[in-house]
A and B are shown apart, each in its own frame.
Chain A
Amino acid sequence: DVKVTQSSRYLVKRTGEKVFLECVQDMDHENMFWYRQDPGLGLRLIYFSYDVKMKEKGDIPEGYSVSREKKERFSLILESASTNQTSMYLCASSRTVQETQYFGPGTRLLVL
């Protein structure tokens, strides 16, 4: 059974703070993804990674960076949080890019 965990369910940060969101998967999946979900906009891909130390920009990478030092862990970094980054952040993993993605429970981030 695939398990994807995210470090926090809820976070409150101030504008300008550096924010780290961690995601860990236990299925040895090659691919990991970060999305944000906003009402009326669905899931939008921020970044994805197809291998350790590899990353690709998604649809909305501005204001974010990522790190994949180990296969099981994919981190999303907000270098300087802004209020428009208040959102639900979802991590996912999959065996191949095209196949079913398994999602973590999400982190609801509020930037004040």
Chain B
Amino acid sequence: DQQVKQNSPSLSVQEGRISILNCDYTNSMFDYFLWYKKYPAEGPTFLISISSIKDKNEDGRFTVFLNKSAKHLSLHIVPSQPGDSAVYFCAASANNLFFGTGTRLTVIP
């Protein structure tokens, strides 16, 4: 059973606009959430994280929002750039790390 879900397999956004990637989870014991970015033929790289005691964490163009009551987190990228085109995985941690299925973001120049 998938404990971390990314319901949108793909997303296309115009350069300069905001990209919003969504992630839902089912396990209320998750206390740490991460986003990874993956380019083709490369391993995922860590992007940004958030602890369950916070509801927002910002790093440059990237902001992660956590809504614990809704068991939902989102990644906002603004402004989106063509180099942001990649697959984005969300992950949630309790005793282990659980990954979502990924969302392929395409930023159109």
Give bound CA distance, A58 to B75, whole Å: 27
Interface residues as binary, B26-70 with A (CB distance below 8 Å gives 1, 0 otherwise): 000001101010000111111001000000000000000000000
Interface residues as binary, B84-109 with A (CB distance below 8 Å gives 1, 0 otherwise): 00000100011111011110000000
Give bound CA distance, A104 to B38, whole Å: 11
Q: Is B79 an interface residue (CB 8 A)?
A: no
Q: Is A45 an interface residue (CB 8 A)?
A: yes
Picked from B9, B34, B41, the residue with its CB within 8 Å of the CB of A100 is: B34
Asked if B42 and A106 sit within 8 Å, CB to CB, the answer is yes
Where chain A touches its partner, the secondary structure class is strand
- Which A residues are in CB contact (< 8 Å) with B9? 40
Asked if B43 and A98 sit within 8 Å, CB to CB, the answer is no
Interface residues of A (CB under 8 A from B): 4, 9, 35, 40-45, 48, 90-92, 94, 97-106, 108
- List 14 additional A-B contacts (Cβ < 8 Å) besides A94-B97, A100-B49, A106-B42: A42-B89, A42-B102, A44-B99, A91-B43, A97-B93, A97-B96, A97-B97, A98-B32, A98-B93, A98-B94, A99-B93, A101-B46, A102-B46, A103-B36
